[in-house]
Copies of this chain bind each other. A is one copy, B any other.
C-alpha cells in the first residue's frame, strides 16, 4: 500500500502539494453521528498561524477549510470525510532557481533521485511543512471524537533554541497559556525568552529548533496492541512523519539510560478508588498499551533548513559544487506551528486504536 495513508480503522489519507491546487485529506472510518462543520476544522487550522507576529514568515496564508464529502445535515455519515484547503495563488518562480541545486537540510536531493525529473519541486511539493494542514484537519475530527470520551490532547513548547521550560507546567497552565503566546509555551516568562531566541536567530538570517511535548489525559487503560501495533510505536511513527522531527521520546525518555530500575519503575497505588502510578516515567504506556496515566510524548524539531545564509551545495546537472542562498521569507522557527500538529497526530493515533479496541463505537 502506498505511503500517503495512516491508520487501520481511522484511516487518514493525505494528498495535495504546497504550490498545487489544494492540501487535502480524506478520513475513511470516521464513525457516523459526529456533529461537524467547517468551523471545527478552521478553529484548529487557525492555531497553525501564530498570529500577525514578528516571529513567523510574512507570507499571507489564510487556510480556509472546506468539507467536500461525508457530512449530511451537520453530522458525519460514516462515509469518507473529504476535507481540503485550496491553495492561494503563490509565486513559484523562486523554486526554478533551486531546481537542480538541492537546499541543505531539505528533501530536494533524495526526492530528485527518487522521482527523476517528475517531482513537483515548487515550495517543497509533497515534502513541504504545509502538508501538515492536512494533519490538522484530520486532527480536528479526531479531537472531537476523543472529546466524546472526555479525552484531551494538549501540546506545548518546552524548548526553543536552547531555552527550556524547567518546571513542569500543570494541565491548567497548558490550557490557559499555550495559545495565548506566539511560541505556544505554557510558561509565559519562558515564552518571552524563547521569542527572543527566535528573533536573535532571525536577525542573523539563521533559524532555531526546539522540543514540543504532548499530553493526552483520561486515556483508558489498554489502548494499543502488542507487538507491532504498540501505541507508542504508532505515535512515534506519525510524529516522525512530520517534516523536521528528529527525535521522539515518552515519559522519562532518553533519561532512562542513566536511571536505575528502582528509580524508573512507576509504583502502583490506589487513589480515589482508581489504580494509578505514583510517578509516570513510562509516559502512560507500558508494553505498548496505555496504562491509564497521562500519555506524555516529546518530539525534537530541527531548526528550519531554509536560512538566509550562503550554503554549500551541488549542481545536480553539472555535478559541480556550488553555493546557494535561499530567497523568500521563511519561519526562523517552525516549533510554534508544530504544536497543534503534534496534538493532531496524537489524537489521530488514539482514535484509530480506540476504534480497533471497540472503545469508540462506529455509530455515535
B24, B118, B201: the one within 8 Å of A78 (CB): B118
In the bound complex, CA of A22 to CA of B67 (Å): 11
Q: Which residues of B contact A239 (CB under 8 A)?
A: 233, 236
A279 to chain B, nearest CB (A): 10
Q: Please determine whether B275 and A314 come into contact, CB atoms closer than 8 angstroms.
A: yes
**How far apart are A63's CB and chain B's nearest CB, in angstroms?**
16
A115 to B73, CA, bound (A): 14
CA distance A241 to B1 in the complex (A): 19
Q: Which of B116, B229, B259 contacts A302 (CB 8 A)?
A: B259
A17 to B77, CA, bound (A): 11
Overall SS of chain A's interface: mixed
Q: Is the pair B125, A77 in contact by a Cβ cutoff of 8 Å?
A: yes
16 extra interface residue pairs, beta carbon distance < 8 Å, beyond A16-B68, A114-B289:
A1-B29, A5-B28, A20-B72, A26-B26, A76-B118, A106-B287, A110-B222, A115-B363, A160-B257, A209-B259, A230-B240, A247-B256, A254-B254, A261-B306, A261-B307, A265-B311
- A7: CB under 8 A from chain B? yes
Binary per-residue interface labels of chain A (272-292) against chain B in the complex, 1 for a CB within 8 Å, 0 otherwise: 010101100111001111111
Query: Which residues of B lie under 8 Å from residue A151 when comparing CB positions?
Result: none
Are B116 and A313 in contact (CB-based, < 8 A)?
no
**Also in contact, A246 and B236, with CB within 8 A (given A3-B28, A5-B28, A118-B78):** no
Cα(A236)–Cα(B249), bound, Å: 10
Chain B residues within an 8 Å CB radius of A13: 5, 13, 26, 28, 80
Q: Is A258 an interface residue (CB 8 A)?
A: yes
Q: Is the CB of A22 within 8 A of B68?
A: yes
Q: Is the CB of B288 within 8 A of A72?
A: no
Pairwise interchain contact A209-B256, C-beta atoms closer than 8 A: yes
Residue of B nearest to A30 (CB): B2
The answer, yes or no, to whether A166 is at the interface (CB within 8 Å) is no
Known: A22-B69, A246-B250. A126 touches B226 (CB 8 A): yes
Partner of A110, one of B69, B228, B292, B314: B292
**Residue numbers in B under 8 Å from A307 (CB-CB):** 261-262, 265
A340 within 8 A of B: no
Query: Which residues of chain B come closer than 8 Å to A356, judged between CB atoms?
Result: 9
- Point out which of A20, A109, A116, A246 has the most chain B C-beta atoms below 10 A from its C-beta: A246
Residues of B within 8 A of A118 (CB): 32-33, 72, 75-78, 363
**A327 CB–B CB distance under 8 Å:** no
Q: Report which of B68, B209, B237, B358 forms a contact with A233, defined as CB distance below 8 A.
A: B237
Contact with B along A17-43 (1 / 0, CB 8 A): 100111010101100110000000000
User: Bound complex: CA of A229 vs CA of B9, how far in Å?
Assistant: 13
Give A142-193 interface residues, CB cut-off 8 Å to B: 159-162
A82 at the interface (CB under 8 A from B): yes
Complex interface: chain B residues within 8 A of A262 (CB): 206-207, 307, 309, 311
| Partner pick for A314 among B269, B290, B304, CB 8 A cutoff | B269
7 A–B pairs (Cβ distance < 8 Å), ordered by A? A4-B28, A77-B125, A208-B258, A236-B239, A246-B254, A262-B309, A267-B312
Mark contacts of A298-340 with chain B using CB atoms, 8 A cut-off: 1 yes-contact digit, 0 otherwise: 0011111111010111101001110000000000000000000
